[in-house]
Amino acid sequence: MYKMLVIGLSAGGSPIARRLLAGLPKDYPLAVAIVAHLPQGYESSLAQQLDAVSGLPVTEVRDKEPIVAGHVYVAPPDYHLLVEQNRPFTFALSEDEPVKSVRPSIDILFSSAAEVFGASLIAVILSGANSDGADGMAVVKQLGGLCMVLDPLEAEFNTMPNAVIKKVDVDYIVSLDDIISLLISVGEK
């Protein structure tokens, strides 16, 4: 049974993330954490944009915030987002050095979530212009999580999905509509 969904995106990913969240039912049972790359010093409105289209509550993460099922959490600008092993599970924010020139790093969220949730984790990569997410997705796969990548032909910037596909034998390389259908079906199990 899956407990958490992590989503990584960068350039071109925000409209896709809005469509994805709009497609999830308001009773979706998994906690959802999202890392999006933003320029340093940029004030993010991503949580508000997603909240406007989602049937699930969407907020920007606070340090040490408990992870609640059926809630969407967005990493704040310029902080790495990690999942901690505490009971109840919590998020941690870090100002550690950028990874692959970015903070927040998709790799860090995916790796830390995989270490906590293992085979109960689903990871999704959308659009992006760098390779962040490939190493984290490799950890998700190694620890038994379900790995999905947006078909690079549907991504505005396909560098990120292609980097993941090159590094990891992902479970699904599919359209956004198929990602939404898969997320709904596994959320019901």
- Is 132 tagged catalytic? yes
pLDDT of 58 reads 97
Say if residues 29 and 72 touch (Cβ distance below 8 Å): no
Of the candidates 74, 140, 135, 132, the residue with the CA atom closest to the CA atom of residue 102? 132
The tokens for 88 are 């109840």
Helices then strands, counting H and E runs in the chain, come out as 6, 9
- Is 71 tagged catalytic? no
pLDDT digits (tens, 9 = 90+) for 5-59: 999 999 999 999 999 999 999 999 999 999 998 765 556 788 999 999 999 999 9
DSSP state of 101: T
pLDDT digits (tens, 9 = 90+) for 67-124: 999 999 999 988 999 999 887 899 999 999 999 989 999 999 999 999 999 999 999 9
Helix (H) or strand (E) holding 161: helix 159-167
Q: Is the dihedral of CA 181, 55, 160, 75 positive or negative?
A: negative
Catalytic residue among 14, 54, 107, 132: 132
Catalytic residue among 10, 54, 105, 111: 10
Phi then psi dihedrals of residue 69, to 5 deg: -60, 145
DSSP state of 169: -
Q: Is 99 exposed, middle or buried (0-12, 13-18, 19+ CB in 10 A)?
A: middle
Range of the domain at 26: 4-187
3 state SS of 159: helix
Catalytic residue among 14, 37, 80, 127: 37
- For 102-118, letters b (16+ CB in 10 Å) and e give bbbbbbbbbbbbbbbbe
- Is 10 tagged catalytic? yes
Looking at the structure of the chain, the number of domains it has is 1
Of the candidates 169, 82, 165, 164, the residue with the CA atom closest to the CA atom of residue 131? 164
pLDDT digits (tens, 9 = 90+) for 50-80: 999 999 999 999 999 999 999 999 999 889 9
Residue 120 belongs to a domain with what CATH number? 3.40.50.180
pLDDT of 88 reads 87
What mean pLDDT is predicted for residues 119-138?
97
| Single pTM value for the model | 0.96
